Amino acid sequence: MSMLLFGSMTASQRAKRALARIGISATIKKVDSRINNGCSYALSFEEKHYLNAIAEIRRMGISYFTGA
């Protein structure tokens, strides 16, 4: 699985719905912000979608960190 990190729930939800629009299913989980660049939300999806997912999230202008 690939994981992207977001500072807010809304940002992770925007990203999740953006990915859904291009056929990528993703799951939101809360994570420990101390060990995740201050991010509290992680979006997980299948690794094979990684490049498409990153491209779409960037296109939407949503800030993210890459998971550890």
Partner 1 sequence: MKKIYFDHAATSYPKSTSVSRAVTKSMALYGGNPGRSSHALALASGDMLFDAREKISDFLSYDRPDHVVLTSGATMALNLAIHQYIKPFGHVLLSNLEHNAVFRPIHLLCEKYNATYSTFSYLDASLDLEKKLQDNTCLVVCTHASNLSGRLLPISTLGAICKSRNIPFIIDASQSIGHLPFSFEETHASILCAPFHKALGGVMGGGFALFREDDATPFIAGGSGSNSLSPYMPKELPDCLEAGTPPTVAIASVLASLEELSLEKLVRRKNAMLLKTDYAIQKLNNRSDVMLYDAHPNPCGIIAFNLASVPSSEVGNKLDRHGICVRSGFHCTPLAHQTLNTGEFGAVRISFGEENTLSEIDYMMKVLDKEFPS
| DSSP H or E run through 3 | strand 2-6
Nearer to partner 1, 8 or 51 (CB): 8
Give CA–CA dist 21/41, Å, rounded. 20
Task: Write out the residues near partner 1 by the rule CB under 8 A.
Answer: 7-11, 13-14, 17, 28-30, 33-34, 38-41, 63
Min CB(30)–partner 1 separation in Å: 4
Least distance to partner 1, CB of residue 46, Å: 19
CB of 41 to partner 1, least distance (A): 7
